[in-house]
Structure 1
């Protein structure tokens, strides 16, 4: 992705036009998906903490890989461990400073799961050691990539057979053996493939990012009603597999909303969406996901700072809390905190 794609990604003045008090501010939240980076624009600890402490009671977060701090020497297959080292140190420093949200309490790292047993074992053991109790899993990008010119999601070559690769399956099994989660960015068209993987390795904890978003990969535009129907069929395919979980969020950015014009156009409006408006946009997919999979397999996520293009942190979680009000107290707790804390094995949260 070119630097120009990020030039005006966040407009603080535009976001400031919508101010809301935090709803149900006493409810604990675990944010299971955010990044910390210096480029393409600064979103380091101060910016992250400013969002986390903007009104909601965030007790912990999970960092998701963003190619940050890789080692620049040593074995190639171990270079992604540098990201875990960097983020673990950042989290420890924040803890020492006495910050209330335990940032980066979990870390989802990166690495190649197809490189054979010996190297995969070495990679995962190095991640675990570097994480000092924070390493929670690995994200494998096997299905999609993004066109840097149009920001459109497009399938990676071989994505339809990626879960059938024997080396990949073996790598996922080694990840599962350590109790670590596997994050996947998949379009709705890949949900049946995810179901196949989940059936092969029922002990694997699989997490689908960003509602497994709808993406139109056809040569001609496909009606949105047909895309949504295909997404629902994909949900039905993963439903029998209790080891598959889903993050509810991530659509308020241009990379995941290509086939969802209502989300894609948010930044084009004079003012940002209110939490009521954002909740209504999310409601059809979020409600369907929870109805199909159950709250114990779903978790709300911020995907910040990427989704900060279209909404502030406070408004986003207000929208999620509005959606969560349709469920029981136990289910709300799972959606806002419990599922994420369990899946990513978070400890010592300041509850």
Structure 2
């Protein structure tokens, strides 16, 4: 796989502070279903930075750590290097579980990055990950986002074209069922047909579609938002017909979505974000239903465009017309059931 410079927006704390808002519905329990942690040339986002964000006013009870190639092992076989990321995330989880960093159970579930094309080696890698995870490993994610245009980029790693249709990859995905693991997938809307085929041939594996299913708004799709939305909805409708699929609502702070809030003098308000994302939100609810949808922060990637507190205000505005039960599904129940999280205290 080709490794390039991360195309993430820079985080500007002073700029974000200009958009502070009162927290809406501060007692609503939330599971942040998707975030990362790292210490790399593009910046540091570790326990202090993330702890400050989850403690910014919303009731974040638990979080799910997602593969991002953090803390890969320096030595040993190439296939085993991603075990280091699971070990790292489990250490962060243990720190939060001590209660010394607040009430949130951060990294309570971990999605690691074992290479699913490994064949016979895959089992030993997954077993090693389970061993170092403290019982927290819940799923696997491989880089899958690919586009023929170099203007469409959202990750420092570019996978080979058509990886989801590769028999060795599909065999590895099927093997996850034997370990009780799910499969997360970040793909662009142009790849949803391939993802459908992958999900179809792995009926015993829960396939989680990341980041609204990736409706692209840059490069050749920069001025085709309606055409993109039509193709995106068609692709998602096929995926929604498979009972083993779930979808994450978020990730639209990435520049690949085509929003230009980061270039404005002031950061976007939660009202602006909710208005921009409502068509995607409503379509996902229509196709999957609240019990198969979950909100995610995708921090720190999305932090270049808005703050953690404003993001969750935007999600609460999107869900303002939902019933209490539907809100429970969107904000914590779907994530908790998908990633087998414990319910801590009063979740009502």
Task: Provide the C-alpha distance between the structure 1 equivalents of 2:123 and 2:222, rounded to a whole number of angstroms.
Answer: 43
Q: Indicate how the Cα distance of structure 1 residues 54 and 217 shifts in structure 2: closer, same or farther if over 3 A, else same.
A: closer
Partner residue of 1:343 out of 328, 335, 338: 338
Does the 8 A contact of 1:153 with 1:215 survive in 2? no
CA distance in 1, matches of 2:224, 2:95: 49
> Does 2:309 match 1:314?
yes
TM alignment of 1:97-246, pairs within 5 A = 97-98=99-100, 99-116=102-119, 118-144=120-146, 152=153, 159-160=161-162, 162-215=163-216, 223-246=224-247
1:330 — aligned with what?
Answer: 325
Q: How does 1:90-101 map to 2 (within 5 A)?
A: 90-98=92-100, 99-101=102-104
2:31 aligns to what? 30
CA-based RMSD: 2.3
Partner of 1:286: 281
- Answering whether residue 64 of structure 2 is matched by residue 59 of structure 1, we say no
Shift of 1:112: 0.8
Instruction: Choose which of 261, 269, 273 in structure 2 pairs with 1:266.
Output: 261
Q: Give the C-alpha shift of residue 153 in structure 1.
A: 5.1
**TM superposition shift of 1:216:** 6.5
Measure, in 2, the Cα distance between the counterparts of 1:94 and 1:146.
41
TM-score, length of structure 1 as denominator length: 0.90
SS in 1 for 2:64: strand
Determine helix, strand or coil for the equivalent of 1:61: strand
- The answer to whether structure 1 residue 69 and structure 2 residue 64 are counterparts is no
TM-score (norm 2): 0.91
Q: Judging changes above 3 Å, is the alpha-carbon distance between structure 1 residues 213 and 152 closer, same or farther for their aligned structure 2 residues?
A: same
Instruction: Provide structure 2 residue ranges, at least 5 long, that are not aligned to the other structure.
Output: none
**8 A contact 2:62–2:105 mirrored in 1:** yes
Cα distance in 1 for residues equivalent to 2:217 and 2:254 = 16
Judge conservation of contact 2:72–2:82 (CA < 8 Å) in 1: yes
- Kept in 2, the 8 Å contact 1:138–1:181? The answer is yes
Gaps of 5+ in 1: none
Name the CA shift for 1:227/1:126 in 2 (closer, same or farther; >3 Å): same
Helix, strand or coil for the counterpart of 2:44? coil
Equivalent residues of 1:32, 1:301 under 8 A apart = yes
Q: In structure 2, how many angstroms separate the alpha carbons of the residues matched to 1:318 and 1:293? A: 22
Q: Distance in 1 between matches of 2:159 and 2:75?
A: 29
Q: Is residue 143–residue 159 contact of structure 2 (8 Å, CA) maintained in 1?
A: no
Structure 2: how far apart are the matches of 1:150 and 1:46?
33
| Secondary structure class of the residue paired with 2:108 | strand
Counterpart of 1:247 in structure 2 is: 248
| SS of aligned partner of 2:52 | helix
CA distance in 2, matches of 1:9, 1:29: 26
Over 3 Å counting, the alpha-carbon distance change for 1:216 and 1:26 in structure 2 is closer
- Are 2:279 and 1:277 aligned? no
8 Å Cα contact 2:144-2:159 kept in structure 1: no
Q: What is the CA–CA distance in structure 1 between the aligned matches of 2:62 and 2:242, rounded to whole Å?
A: 27
Distance 1:16 1:219, change over 3 A: closer
Q: What's the offset of the Cα at 1:220?
A: 8.1
Q: Which moved more, 1:73-82 or 1:102-111?
A: 73-82
Q: Which whole-Å CA distance do the structure 2 matches of 1:158 and 1:89 have between them?
A: 32
